[in-house]
């Protein structure tokens, strides 16, 4: 069984978490006890909201639900404390059939019973299946994702996309909560948000996501920073969707080409690591990135060999820089769960594994339920400053799981409203 017990019991939560958990109370038993155990917390900046009268979770839809990423959404959303899948969308080839009858299910857990009987709808926002939906998760094929996602946002839905189509739009964030949570503010500048309350948030290309999370501690360290990244990927077969590559192509083989992947890593990473300024939009990070992408004979989990030139090396030796990189990773705070209290967030977003032969996709991809990126082999580089290996699950943190984290962050930030569900903003305003 590859899934962890996914939703957290309380250990230590922030006030922000507490607000969300309390606002969602009544929805999930262990979240109620999570909130109860924090009743002694001092009333703070955000304050405590009254118990919500709402007893439902936020209704959500998954588009592309029959595909590789769509199935991950369905799997990861089972029993979600805040979200309830009420609609599943796919092409006209699948529409009209019950999900369990139509999907070629390839996950290691059974089809969730709460979704098995849902009738697949076409991806048309006027379809009655989507009437009550507030959040739309998109695992649509990028040949058609762009227009469909726009049409859902135009009907007031919050769209969280895996597809590449909108990633470089000037008002759409490529959001990775442990790296650039502040970018979610870009949503408020989307005209469709101002007019109808709908918006689009994308996640990154899966290799780019693992790299951004793995390198965030270095990038954000005032003593380090990054000037140059040279990365070679070893990408899993599942990244090509299902059925993807034929066995004849990938067995006993490495394919040193994944269409457009290198360009995406080189451009998306600059937007992700850059700044969002409401007056100027996205200001890209000043980093040189060179990517070489390879498909390897691994089912899930993208591994990457990275060489770095740091920005602030000063007089330090490369050994000292390598040690500082390790410490930056070890000290990097738990952001998804610790800072924001996102229920899908792992204990740690990024970890350092000191074993000489890690990370390895088969051993490390499911850490933190597939939400944690593992970094290892940090050592001096003869050409740049340091080199390392990192690994992240391409269809969990790199795809469906990443979108779910993004939607959870949007709820915490008050961007997704739902009747009876107080948000951080609403509860703060109520106290003014
Ligand atoms: N696999 C990965 O690791 C990652 C994938 N992505 C992105 O996520 C998206 C999905 O990828 P993946 O799951 O691998 O792709 P799949 O090919 O496995 O699934 C595609 C989905 O899109 C649906 N679809 C296709 N055509 C239409 C249409 N005309 N109208 C409505 N629905 C349609 C399919 O429905 P039907 O079954 O009815 O044909 C299916 O549900 C892509 O944009 C991809 O680039 C992003 C990051 C990582
Ligand atoms: N190209 C990635 C998966 C993918 O679909 O990426 P993107 O979302 O950037 O198109 C891979 O093959 O592993």
pLDDT tens per residue across span 281-293 = 999 999 999 999 9
pLDDT tens per residue across span 349-391 = 999 999 999 999 999 999 999 999 999 999 999 999 999 999 9
144 CB near ligand 1 (under 6 Å): yes
Split at pLDDT 50, 70, 90, the class of 102 is very high
146 CB near ligand 1 (under 6 Å): no
Mean pLDDT score, 160-183? 98
Mean pLDDT score, 69-95? 97
Mutate-to-test residue for ligand 1 from 92, 141, 394, highest number of ligand atoms within 8 A of CB: 141
Architecture of the domain spanning 15-203+399-431: 3-Layer(aba) Sandwich (3.40)
Q: Which helix (H) or strand (E) holds 373?
A: strand 373-380
Whether 206 is a known active-site residue: answer: yes
Mean pLDDT computed over every residue of the chain = 88
Split at pLDDT 50, 70, 90, the class of 260 is very high
Distance (Å) from CA 208 to ligand 2 centroid: 9
Q: Which helix (H) or strand (E) holds 102?
A: helix 99-102
Whether 302 is a known active-site residue: answer: yes
Place of tokens 């000063």: 314
Q: Is the pLDDT of residue 432 over 80?
A: no
Q: Which ligand is nearest to the CA of 122?
A: 1
How far apart are the C-alpha atoms of 74 and 64, rounded to whole Å?
A: 10
Place of tokens 């799981």: 401
Residues of the chain with pLDDT > 70, as a percent, come to 84
How far apart are the C-alpha atoms of 179 and 212, rounded to whole Å?
A: 7
Cβ neighbors of 49 (< 8 A, separation 6 or more) are 19, 22, 23, 422, 426, 427, 430
CA atoms within 13 A on the CB side of 232: 9
Q: What is the pLDDT of residue 188?
A: 97
Nearest ligand 1 atom to alpha carbon 236: 3
DSSP 416: S
Distance (Å) from CA 104 to ligand 1 centroid: 13
* ipTM of model over 0.95: yes
Split at pLDDT 50, 70, 90, the class of 418 is low
CATH class of the domain comprising 206-393: alpha beta
208 CB near ligand 1 (under 6 Å): no
Atom 11 (ligand 2): residue with closest C-alpha?
239
88 CB near ligand 1 (under 6 Å): no
Q: Which ligand is nearest to the CA of 245?
A: 2
Split at pLDDT 50, 70, 90, the class of 408 is very high
Pick from 73, 199, 71, 60: which is nearest to 130 by CA? Answer: 60
- Provide the 3-class DSSP secondary structure of residue 178: helix
Sheet holding 158-161, edge to edge: 121-122, 83-90, 58-63, 135-138, 158-161, 199-202
Query: In this predicted structure, which of 51-65, 115-129, 372-386, 395-409 has the lowest mean pLDDT?
Result: 51-65
Distance (Å) from CA 182 to ligand 1 centroid: 28
pTM: 0.89
Q: How far is CA 298 from CA 7, 254, 400, 418, in A?
A: 28, 10, 19, 41
The answer to whether 15-203+399-431 and 206-393 have equal CATH topology is: no
Pick from 16, 139, 149, 24: which is nearest to 88 by CA? Answer: 139
pLDDT tens per residue across span 192-251 = 999 999 999 999 999 999 999 999 999 999 999 999 999 999 999 999 998 899 999 999
Split at pLDDT 50, 70, 90, the class of 86 is very high
Distance (Å) from CA 239 to ligand 2 centroid: 6
Q: What is the pLDDT of residue 99?
A: 98
Q: How far is CA 213 from CA 10, 33, 117, 140, in A?
A: 24, 31, 37, 24
Q: What is the pLDDT of residue 8?
A: 58
DSSP assignment of 303-362, as one string? EEEEEEEES--TT--HHHHHHHHHHHHHH---IIIIIT--TT--S-SEEEE-STT---HH
How far apart are the C-alpha atoms of 265 and 25, rounded to whole Å?
A: 40
Q: Is the pLDDT of residue 401 over 60?
A: yes
Nearest ligand 2 atom to alpha carbon 302: 13
Residues with CB under 6 A from ligand 2: 142, 162, 164, 205-206, 235, 239-240, 258, 261, 264, 394
Mean pLDDT score, 151-167? 98
Q: Which of 31, 80, 183, 302 is an active site residue?
A: 302
Q: Which ligand is nearest to the CA of 267?
A: 2
Q: Is the pLDDT of residue 180 over 50?
A: yes
Cβ-in-10-Å burial (0-12, 13-18, 19+) of 331 comes to exposed
Q: What is the pLDDT of residue 259?
A: 97
Atom 27 (ligand 1): residue with closest C-alpha?
91
Q: What is the pLDDT of residue 242?
A: 86
How far apart are the C-alpha atoms of 95 and 120, rounded to whole Å?
A: 5
In terms of phi and psi (left: phi > 0; alpha: psi -120 to 50; beta: otherwise), the region of 414 is: left
Can you give the residue ranges of every domain in the chain? 15-203+399-431, 206-393
Q: Which ligand is nearest to the CA of 141?
A: 1
Neighbouring CB atoms inside 10 A of 352's CB total 24
Pick from 100, 24, 11, 16: which is nearest to 56 by CA? Answer: 24
Q: Which of 123, 206, 293, 391 is an active site residue?
A: 206
Q: What is the pLDDT of residue 134?
A: 97
């Amino acid at each position: 069984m590859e899934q962890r017990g996914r939703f957290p019991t309380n250990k230590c939560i922030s006030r922000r978490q507490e607000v969300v958990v309390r606002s969602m109370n009544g929805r999930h038993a262990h979240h109620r006890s999570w909130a109860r155990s924090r009743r002694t917390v001092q009333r703070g900046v955000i304050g405590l909201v009254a118990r919500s009268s709402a007893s439902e979770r936020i209704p959500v839809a998954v588009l592309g639900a029959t595909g590789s990423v769509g199935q991950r959404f369905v799997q990861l959303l089972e029993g979600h404390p805040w979200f309830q899948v009420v609609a599943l969308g796919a092409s006209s080839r699948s529409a009209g059939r019950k999900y369990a009858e139509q999907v070629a299910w390839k996950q290691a857990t059974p089809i969730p019973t709460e979704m098995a009987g849902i009738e697949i709808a076409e991806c048309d926002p006027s379809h009655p299946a989507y009437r009550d939906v507030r959040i739309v998760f998109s695992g649509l094929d990028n040949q058609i994702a762009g227009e469909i996602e726009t049409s859902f946002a135009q009907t007031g839905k919050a769209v969280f996309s895996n597809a590449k189509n909108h990633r470089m739009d000037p008002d759409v964030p490529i959001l990775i909560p442990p790296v650039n949570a502040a970018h979610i503010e870009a949503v408020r500048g989307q005209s469709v948000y101002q007019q109808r309350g709908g918006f689009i948030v994308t996640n990154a290309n899966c290799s780019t996501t693992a790299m951004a999370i793995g390198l965030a501690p270095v990038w954000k360290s005032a003593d380090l920073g990054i000037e140059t990244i040279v990365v070679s990927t070893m990408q899993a077969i599942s990244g090509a969707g299902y059925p993807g590559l034929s066995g004849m192509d990938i067995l006993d083989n490495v394919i040193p080409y994944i269409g457009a992947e290198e360009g995406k890593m080189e451009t998306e990473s600059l937007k992700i690591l850059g700044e969002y300024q409401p007056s100027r939009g996205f200001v890209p990070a000043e980093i040189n990135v060179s990517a070489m992408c390879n498909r390897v004979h691994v089912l899930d989990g993208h591994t990457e060999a990275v060489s770095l030139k740091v920005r602030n090396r000063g007089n330090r030796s490369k050994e000292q820089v390598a040690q500082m990189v390790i410490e930056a990773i070890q000290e990097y705070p738990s952001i998804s769960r610790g800072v924001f209290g996102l229920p899908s967030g792992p204990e740690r977003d990024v970890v350092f594994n000191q074993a000489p032969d890690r990370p390895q996709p088969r051993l490390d991809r499911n850490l933190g339920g597939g939400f944690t990126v593992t970094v290892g082999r940090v050592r001096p580089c003869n050409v740049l400053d340091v080199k390392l290996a990192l690994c992240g699950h391409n269809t969990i943190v790199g795809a469906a799981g990443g979108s779910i984290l993004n939607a959870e962050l949007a709820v915490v930030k008050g961007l997704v409203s739902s009747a009876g569900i107080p948000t951080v903003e609403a509860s703060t305003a109520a106290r003014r």
